Amino acid sequence: MCWSKYFDFARETGVDSKWFKEQVITIHRRCLSTEQCDNIFSDKMLTNCDKKLPKMHIRDDGKIEEEKEALHADFANKFIGGGVLTGGNVQEEILFTVNPECLITMLLSPMVFYFIFILLNPKKKKIYIYIYTYIYMNETIVILGTRQYFDYTGYGSRFQYNGLHQYQLRESESKDKDSGESATDTNNGDEKVDVLRFCQKKPNRLATGIVCFDALEFPGDKQIQPKFLLRELVKAYVAFQCDEVLLADERFGRVIATGNWGCGMFGGNKQIKSLLQWIAATLAAKEIAYFTFAKFEKDKQLSKLSEVVNAMVQKEITVGQLWQALCNTNVRERFTYGSKSLFSLLNERLKLNISSL
């Protein structure tokens, strides 16, 4: 339904219109060199990091894409787009469905080439497997300038199209066909209206951004081990560290809108992932708007997130102190074999004095 509506929009607006001819979308593959990784993420550097953890903006309601002027997280599959073309309806697939221009990324990601080669040469898999390229732990993809065309309700099997996403054009734009404004199929049930903002230094590119970063798949108990903590920390940092030159606009991108990265089908621990993303954002000089999706959270892992964050901020806990606590052998063993949550163990280790834990 969404994609047929997109083509309706293109037909009504006109593929020769100013909107489609001049709109710029940037797909940027970010990579941190081995030297940079060693400099930033050596055990010594992390342990001695004295950056204080800033306040985290915790959102128990709403959707990631509703955070204004923020970079929105895509909890990516290492195959960018995941199952968006084969019926998948979880976070990344929904994001690519309501932002159809994100689908271009699937053609540019090297992961897709493996399947093309297998399809064309089904009997020669061993020859082409060496061309198959992973998105390594020090790589992420940033998509800039796409537009959310549709609203939706539900998640997974309950996902439903809910009308065109409504925009108010910037004052200097005229509301005609060339501007990309469609007057049909509006969603009258929701009066929320976004403003189409364009980049200050790239006036033909919308001031929107999506950071795509893949999590460990089915990490189980090993996710608390230092090498796996480091893998996730590096991945999140590379995704979050988008500078003003790349964004071409100083007004947006200071906040990362994210949530339970890799904690659905991939089975990640929400407490671990929330803290690692907090550290990554601090190192990248960004703020975090963390969407807990509390009303859908059956295990209540993040019910104490606000208390833990506030206690750490009040106590002026640094990146180094939190990293040392996460990597502590006693914490790791008690988390793996005991019954206490990570938040409870950190409450003891960092002396946060949270009575409810």
Q: Which of 65, 93, 101, 151 is catalytic?
A: 93
Left (φ > 0), alpha (ψ -120 to 50) or beta: where does 69 sit?
A: left
Is 190 part of the annotated catalytic residue set? Answer: no
Residue 280 · residue 46 · CB < 8 Å: no
Q: Report, in angstroms and rounded to the nearest whole number, the Rg of the chain calculated over CA atoms.
A: 21
Residue numbers in the chain where pLDDT is lower than 50: 112-118, 126-133, 171-177, 179, 181-191
Q: Is 225 annotated in some ligand binding site?
A: no
Q: Provide the 10 A C-beta neighbour count for residue 296.
A: 8
Give Cβ neighbours of residue 213 (< 8 Å, ≥ 6 apart): 73, 74, 75, 76, 140, 235, 236, 238, 239, 261
- 74 part of the active site: yes
How far is the C-alpha of 20 from the C-alpha of 178, rounded, in Å?
A: 8
92 as an active site residue: the answer is yes
Is 77 annotated among the ligand-binding residues?
Answer: yes
Domains in the chain, ordered, with CATH?
A: 2-304 (3.40.220.10)
The CA distance from 251 to 266, in Å, is 34
pLDDT score, position 297 = 74
Antiparallel, parallel or unpaired: β 70-76 and 209-214: parallel
CA distance 304 to 1: 39
pLDDT at residue 190 in the model: 45
Choose the catalytic residue: 67, 92, 214, 232: 92
Exactly one of 74, 139, 151, 214 is catalytic; name it. Answer: 74
For position 182, what pLDDT does the model report? 40
| The pLDDT value given to residue 111 | 53
The answer on whether 48 is annotated among ligand-binding residues is: no
